[in-house]
Structure 1
């Protein structure tokens, strides 16, 4: 994100957007725009830009979902997929704190999401940094954090579908937190882990994608286990 883009976002944030309703189940997390102060850009990806900001007195990560002219449906799906993690609270899962189906300064954007700020970069950056390699004890600790987070998500009916080191954030205390739910899917509540027979998954990262997804087979929680094994 350029300084010009950041200044435009700050300016747009100072004026409250027109009200935009979320579904009733998400009404609790509507954004109070007057409480946002954007500080600096953190990075950008295929579906959005992330800023460090403050919200209601705490440091947060603010994600502006990108408008994709080539695939607007994918942009909208990414926004709503991110909210699959809403109301999920676990030490090893990044929390969604607030959201809105609007975005200051970009009326075409699918929305804005305010998330917990981890603050210590990603596991990908830690692995490939110039510092000392991860020791065995550290690897085992990180693996336990990730599996604890996955177990919690799967019990809550959420399949991440894009687990990789770049989507595992590091927090103070050397904690791992699973983030970036833009490819996630919710399992139906009336079945087990194979209850998404009607769904097929096209997103995610090719190098970490389970073979059954590449074959167009139904989405199950087992896909995350494969991605975890590749990450490990």
Structure 2
């Protein structure tokens, strides 16, 4: 039900303010794929990769190739893939550099790539809901990408956590934090969980591998691909 006292024009303006990639309408992507004239068909470097590179992708299992440049049809931003950061059940994560200018997207980002649309849609959606929260990994961009073999993969442009996830950080440094620091940072992560819970949402995978260490040892919660609304 729409709030009272709002004109049809105001209601339309509110709906248009939601970024396209945050909408969970799968037909939108299907119509793009079936339309050869849609910009998405022509924006990915994957469609012009040499045969040798395509063969290497198939042999290594990489979803993207270092030095490959991909373009988001949503924001028109270009990203150069630098190296793989890791992989797991979600897909693969790459360190990437934004090319060109942007007032919003930092120069160094993480590109998360998945073959599964469901988790991609959820993470883009919940990332948008948490936009600007100081304790949540920022989601800057989300777009489907046509690979050289004709298959679609689904990309998220995320804030890059320079120190990696909390488990890897503690293992690498071999030491913990002072109690006061640990209390402060845990309280920050709980702020994000509190916002999710107030919206009747559950993260469902709160582990040190989904808590990330950013600059100045600041913890942020990420990996919203399996968040669910409570019934």
For this structure pair, what is the TM-score category when the shorter chain's length is used for normalisation? 0.5 to 0.7
CA RMSD of aligned residues (A): 2.9
- Equivalent residue in structure 2 for 1:62, among 111, 128, 131: 111
- Out of 100, 104, 108, which is 2:143 matched to? 100
Please list every run of 5 or more consecutive structure 1 residues that lacks an aligned counterpart in the other structure.
Answer: 20-29, 68-74, 188-195, 198-232
TM-score (norm: length of structure 2) = 0.61
Query: Which protein is richer in strand relative to its size?
Result: 2
In the alignment, what sits opposite 2:118? 77
Question: C-alpha offsets along residues 18-76 of structure 1, whole Å, 9 cap, x if unaligned?
Answer: x6xxxxxxxxxx2425x2111111101112110111225511100111x3xxxxxxx22
Alignment pair present for 1:175 and 2:231: no
- Quickly say closer, same or farther: Cα 1:97–1:7, change in 2 above 3 A: closer
Query: Does the Cα contact within 8 Å between 2:166 and 2:212 map onto a contact in 1?
Result: yes
Q: Cα 1:7–1:109, aligned 2, differ >3 Å: closer, same or farther?
A: closer
Superposition TM-score, scaled by structure 1 size: 0.61
Whole-Å separation in 1 of the counterparts to 2:170 and 2:65: 32
Name the counterpart of 1:150. Answer: 193
Map of 1:13 onto structure 2: 69
| Map of 1:206 onto structure 2 | none
Partner of 2:11: none
SS of the equivalent of 1:101 reads: strand
Q: Does 1:40 align with 2:89?
A: no
Q: Which structure has the greater CA radius of gyration?
A: 2
Unmatched segments (≥5 aa) in structure 2: 1-56, 102-106
Tell me which residue corresponds to 2:25: none
2: CA distance, partners of 1:106 / 1:77: 21
**How many aligned positions are there?**
166
